[in-house]
């Protein structure tokens, strides 16, 4: 039995490997007594730009720790599971069976789970009786060698940009890893070695672009390709905006000229249609977080793609990017929450239409949260006719509101980290009278909530006064 728990290289994190194959069932089995009666979701990603998780199934451990999961897989993929502070990964090929081995179980405290600075440790799932010709073993061995040479010659390659040494390292890797009949692995090696070429010219040479992006259709779900692609086209709109045609490019971006940009990419930059679309999607996502461009224009471009002649996969990716960019944004409908008060009565946000709702995620046992709850008393008293306060505490809490803190205290079974991105307490949102997020996030009670609400209600007062004056005329 061979167990493989290797260090995971950064380029692999949260990317999906994919390669054309016939859809078939993949069976995952094993036994991990430490995980008895646990359940762990198993996922892959839709694409490497939106990074949207696609749930493949749930590994359910029996009382003795055994498990058996069958999933339908259309292509060779890097699948993953997040659990106990781990990010476990494994390549799965359609039609194969894998007896996998879990790392030693860790029991994280609630504080560790909510710490926003804690990232899961990436590990490879072990495989029982691992074959040296198996894909997981091949790629991990290649990455181990690649990292060794990259670290050994880092200065010469990335600082001195020695082409001779790059060619030497590529030749050594070719000798150590002979050509196989496995096209997936061969493409992996090709694009990983291409990163060494990228170090020489940052992708600015015509030869480099022709070799790796010229006529080929993007390798949508191949992580080695994604690594190279993301480096070459990082913040591409910004790069183009600093070029000789900067005014033309900026104007097209800020007027949502997605069709014109596509035409520019294909005719003037000589991208093939598929590459042009993929670069545009990557560029839109990057540009949204840049202060150079209008967020509204970026969102409109992503929306316009839905009525274009782009492929279904490209349209799906555009929609996923747009949804992620606008998630929890002001002006959007807040994610649904199943809430119950301390007596078990259901509480619905929709029950408070035409009211401002202060949604306050808190932990009454926490000293800092207690200070905020005390301050919230004053805020609630000042705006009691205009503001509904809903406090959301951890499910299963034995809390009793003995200190008469303001608002309705509720619990929820929703995953707060997934629905409202809550990893620390307190954390707050203000929902407007139209039922949409107004402040996302909103200030916590000690951090300027009173002042912010005062400005909102003052603005409402003047709007109402102006409306009444117009009626009187």
Selection from 59, 61, 80, 81 nearest residue 70 by Cα: 59
Q: Who's near 96: CB < 8 A, 6+ residues apart?
A: 26, 27
CATH architecture of 10-130: Sandwich (2.60)
List the beta bridge partners of residue 83. 86
How far is Cα 51 from Cα 122, in angstroms, rounded to an integer? 17
pLDDT for 415: 87
How far is Cα 383 from Cα 357, in angstroms, rounded to an integer? 11
pLDDT for 116: 63
Strands lying side by side in the sheet with 408-412: 346-347, 339-341, 408-412, 387-393, 356-361, 427-431, 437-442
pLDDT for 377: 96
When pLDDT is cut at 50, 70 and 90, the band that residue 417 belongs to is confident
Selection from 433, 428, 424 nearest residue 449 by Cα: 428
Our CA dihedral for 52, 221, 223, 32, rounded to 10 degrees, sits at 60
- Residue 4, pLDDT > 50, answer no
List the beta bridge partners of residue 427. 361
Tokens of 89: 């990964």
How far is Cα 92 from Cα 77, in angstroms, rounded to an integer? 5
Average pLDDT over residues 143-156: 95
When pLDDT is cut at 50, 70 and 90, the band that residue 114 belongs to is low
> What number of CA atoms fall less than 13 Å from residue 466's CA on the CB side?
6
Position with higher pLDDT, 6 vs 328: 328
The rounded Cα 300 to chain-centroid distance in angstroms is 21
- The Cα diameter of the chain in Å comes to 88
Average pLDDT over residues 449-458: 94
Selection from 381, 378, 412 nearest residue 394 by Cα: 412
Average pLDDT over residues 119-146: 92
pLDDT for 21: 53
pLDDT for 14: 37
Residue 158 CB-density burial (10 A; 0-12 exposed, 13-18 middle, 19+ buried): middle
The rounded Cα 268 to chain-centroid distance in angstroms is 32
pLDDT tens track for 213-259: 988 899 988 889 999 999 999 999 999 988 767 888 999 999 999 99
Our CA dihedral for 79, 186, 162, 230, rounded to 10 degrees, sits at -40
- CA dihedral sign, ordered 397, 57, 37, 90: negative
Average pLDDT over residues 314-335: 95
- CA dihedral sign, ordered 461, 463, 465, 471: negative
When pLDDT is cut at 50, 70 and 90, the band that residue 397 belongs to is confident
Averaged pLDDT of the chain = 90
- Which helix (H) or strand (E) segment holds residue 439: the answer is strand 437-442
- Residue 110: phi, psi to the nearest 5? -60, -35
Fold of 339-462: Glutaredoxin (3.40.30)
User: C-alpha angle 123/128/130, rounded to 5°?
Assistant: 85
Grouping H, G, I as helix, E, B as strand and the rest as coil, residue 414 is coil
Residue extents of the structural domains in the chain = 10-130, 140-232, 236-326, 339-462
**Omega within 30 of 0 (cis) for the link into 426:** yes
% of residues, the chain, pLDDT over 90: 75
pLDDT for 137: 93
How far is Cα 151 from Cα 196, in angstroms, rounded to an integer? 12
pLDDT tens track for 182-216: 899 999 999 999 999 999 888 678 889 989 998 88
Residue 324 CB-density burial (10 A; 0-12 exposed, 13-18 middle, 19+ buried): middle
Average pLDDT over residues 446-473: 86
pLDDT for 244: 67
When pLDDT is cut at 50, 70 and 90, the band that residue 394 belongs to is confident
When pLDDT is cut at 50, 70 and 90, the band that residue 15 belongs to is very low
pLDDT for 473: 64
Least confident of 1-10, 265-274, 365-374: 1-10
pLDDT tens track for 333-382: 999 999 999 999 999 999 898 899 999 999 999 999 999 999 999 999 99
């Amino acid at each position: 039995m061979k167990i493989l728990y290797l260090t995971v290289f950064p380029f692999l994190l949260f990317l999906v490997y994919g390669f054309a194959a016939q859809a078939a069932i993949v069976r995952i089995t094993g036994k991990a007594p430490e995980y008895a009666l646990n359940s762990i979701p198993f996922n892959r990603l839709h694409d490497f730009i939106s990074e949207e998780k696609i749930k493949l199934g749930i590994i359910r451990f029996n009382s003795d720790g055994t498990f058996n999961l069958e999933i339908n897989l259309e292509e060779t993929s890097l699948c993953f599971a997040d659990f106990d502070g781990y990010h476990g990964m494994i390549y799965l090929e359609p039609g194969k069976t894998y007896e996998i081995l879990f790392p030693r179980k860790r029991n994280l405290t609630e504080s560790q789970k909510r710490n926003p600075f804690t990232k899961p440790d990436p590990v490879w799932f072990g495989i029982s009786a691992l074959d040296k010709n198996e894909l997981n073993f091949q790629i991990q061995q290649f990455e181990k060698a690649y990292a060794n040479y990259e670290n050994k010659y880092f200065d010469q390659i990335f600082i001195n940009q020695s082409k001779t040494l790059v060619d030497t390292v590529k030749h050594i890797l070719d000798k150590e890893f002979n050509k196989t009949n496995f096209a997936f692995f061969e493409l992996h090696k090709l694009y990983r070695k291409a990163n060494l070429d990228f170090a020489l010219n940052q992708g600015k040479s015509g030869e480099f672009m022709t070799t790796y992006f010229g006529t080929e259709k993007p390798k949508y779900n191949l992580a080695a390709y994604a690594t190279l692609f993301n480096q070459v086209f990082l913040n591409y709109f910004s790069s183009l905006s600093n070029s000789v045609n900067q005014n033309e490019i900026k104007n097209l971006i800020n007027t949502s000229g997605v069709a014109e940009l596509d035409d520019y990419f294909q005719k003037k930059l000589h991208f093939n249609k598929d590459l042009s679309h993929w670069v545009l999607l990557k560029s839109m996502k990057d540009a949204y977080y840049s202060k150079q461009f209008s967020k509204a224009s970026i969102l409109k471009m992503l929306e316009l793609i839905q009525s274009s002649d782009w492929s279904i996969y490209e349209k799906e990716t555009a929609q996923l990017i747009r949804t992620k960019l606008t998630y929890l944004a002001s002006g959007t409908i807040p994610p649904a929450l199943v809430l119950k008060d301390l007596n078990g009565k259901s509480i619905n946000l929709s029950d408070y239409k035409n009211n401002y709702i202060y949604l306050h995620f808190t932990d009454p046992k926490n000293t800092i949260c207690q200070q905020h709850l005390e301050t919230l008393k004053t805020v609630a008293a000042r705006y009691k006719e205009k503001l509904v306060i809903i406090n959301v505490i951890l499910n299963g809490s034995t809390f009793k509101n003995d200190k008469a803190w303001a608002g309705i205290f509720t619990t929820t079974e929703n995953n707060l980290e997934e629905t409202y991105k809550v990893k620390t307490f307190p954390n707050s949102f203000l929902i407007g009278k139209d039922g949409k997020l107004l402040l996302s996030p909103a200030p916590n009670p000690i951090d300027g909530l009173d002042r912010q609400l005062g400005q909102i209600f003052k603005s409402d007062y003047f709007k109402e006064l102006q409306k009444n004056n117009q009626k009187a005329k």
